[in-house]
Amino acid sequence: MLVFGVTGFLLGREAYFSLFSPHFANEDIQILFLLFSPVAGAIIGALLAPFAQALFEGQLRQAEGAIEGLLPAEIAGGAAGLIVGLLIAFLIKGIVFEFISDMGRAGTYIAIVLYLIVAIFAAYLGARVGARLRIVPVPRGGGPNGQAGGAKIVDTSAIVDGRIVEIVESGFLEGTLIVPRFVLRELQAISDSVDPLKRTRGRRGFDILSRLQELSAVEISERDFDDMAPGNVDARLVRLAQETSAKLITNDYNLNRIAHVEGVGVLNVNELANAVKPVVLPGEELHVAVIREGKEFHQGVGYLEDGTMIVVEHGRRLIGEETDVVVTSVLQTVAGRMIFARPKREGVAS
């Protein structure tokens, strides 16, 4: 209110000298307008102050929301670009003032307005270009992934799976866990699905998040990418991991492949589970329950306690029974481990 009041006072006085004073010969009227114009300007300025404050606070909140989604390199680049833009505007100011210096007081006002316009435009353009190009390198430090404490980005599949809780509890997963806002939106969409199974998985995912927040530092990232399709969560995860030099924690096979192609490190929970499974070599004997048919007509399928699939050759006749089998080969894939075996009992193959 003080700034707007003083500004209104000065503008009112200038309006008197420029507009009113030349048209009144009566000294009493001149004195009246000399007193009235600045006071009226001060009152109008003070009354406009609350509206300007509300507008400023709204714009400030939008700016704060935008800054929260920026990376440190973008903020530093934007600040440097802002300074460069203001310097360019300052250099242009001399040219503008010299060009219209012969226009008197009106020319001075025009020059000030033009300078403000140029300064705002140059500052805005410099900040945008500096943030986009990240002209100021910001060193990454702290963890092995370039983040403090080795931050890692968690995707929806790893949250819904739930095994990440046990991994964090065991101490094998350290550092800050980053959960992007768009992952939360995807999890919310799953929770609101009409499919009861999906709805249960989504709600379980939120329970897993609550447990993770109790066990480790979980950070909700507001970073988003408006230039990508709204439903393309995988591409957003890869882009965020590239920008932050973080690794992805996922169970999604397709996301795993895309991340490897893009040069992003992946911590696959399925690969970890396969790595800690006991090694099974050809020739070893196992006891397994054959529970269903295999892909081929003569095959039967069973599972070990850890969920490993065992394909039993000539095991179709053994469905519903428990039997001893001999391992013939082991197939290791990203999706899991498959064991091929044959019945140990004589005569089953025939």
Q: Residue 346: pLDDT above 60?
A: no
Averaged pLDDT, 204-226: 82
Structural domain ending residue among the three candidates 274, 307, 326: 274
> Same domain, yes or no, for 24 and 120?
yes
* Residue 163 forms part of a structural domain: yes
> Same domain, yes or no, for 187 and 249?
yes
- Other Cβ atoms less than 10 A from the Cβ of 77: the count is 25
286 versus 100: which is more confidently predicted? 286
Averaged pLDDT, 85-108: 70
> Same domain, yes or no, for 12 and 49?
yes
Structural domain ending residue among the three candidates 274, 304, 320: 274
Question: What SS3 state is found at 160?
Answer: helix
Report pLDDT digits (tens) over 291-342. 888 888 888 999 887 778 889 998 888 888 888 899 988 877 655 678 899 8
> Same domain, yes or no, for 55 and 163?
no
> Same domain, yes or no, for 129 and 7?
yes
- The pLDDT of residue 147 is 40
The token duo for 230 is 């709204």
Q: Residue 208: pLDDT above 70?
A: yes
> Same domain, yes or no, for 187 and 117?
no
Query: Would the pTM count as exceeding 0.85?
Result: no
How many domains does the chain fold into?
3
CATH code, domain with 196 = 3.40.50.1010
Q: What is the side-by-side strand order in the sheet with 218-221?
A: 218-221, 177-180, 152-154, 247-250, 266-268
> Same domain, yes or no, for 257 and 282?
no
Q: Residue 175: pLDDT above 80?
A: no
> Same domain, yes or no, for 329 and 293?
yes
The token duo for 114 is 């033009």
147 versus 54: which is more confidently predicted? 54
- The pLDDT of residue 30 is 65
> Same domain, yes or no, for 126 and 8?
yes
* Residue 164 forms part of a structural domain: yes
The vertex-252 CA angle with 248 and 254, nearest 5°, equals: 100
Confidence of residue 186 (pLDDT cuts 50, 70, 90): confident
Averaged pLDDT, 101-129: 73
> Same domain, yes or no, for 102 and 183?
no
Structural domain ending residue among the three candidates 274, 294, 327: 274
* Residue 109 forms part of a structural domain: yes
148 versus 347: which is more confidently predicted? 347
* Residue 59 forms part of a structural domain: yes
* Residue 315 forms part of a structural domain: yes
Q: Residue 105: pLDDT above 80?
A: no
Averaged pLDDT, 213-231: 77
Q: Residue 107: pLDDT above 70?
A: no
Q: Which domain holds residue 62?
A: 2-133
- The pLDDT of residue 149 is 45
* Residue 147 forms part of a structural domain: no
66 versus 185: which is more confidently predicted? 185
> Same domain, yes or no, for 10 and 120?
yes
CA distances from 63 to 57, 131, 327 (A): 10, 14, 64
Q: Residue 264: pLDDT above 80?
A: yes
> Same domain, yes or no, for 285 and 258?
no
Averaged pLDDT, 113-126: 79
Confidence of residue 144 (pLDDT cuts 50, 70, 90): very low
* Residue 192 forms part of a structural domain: yes
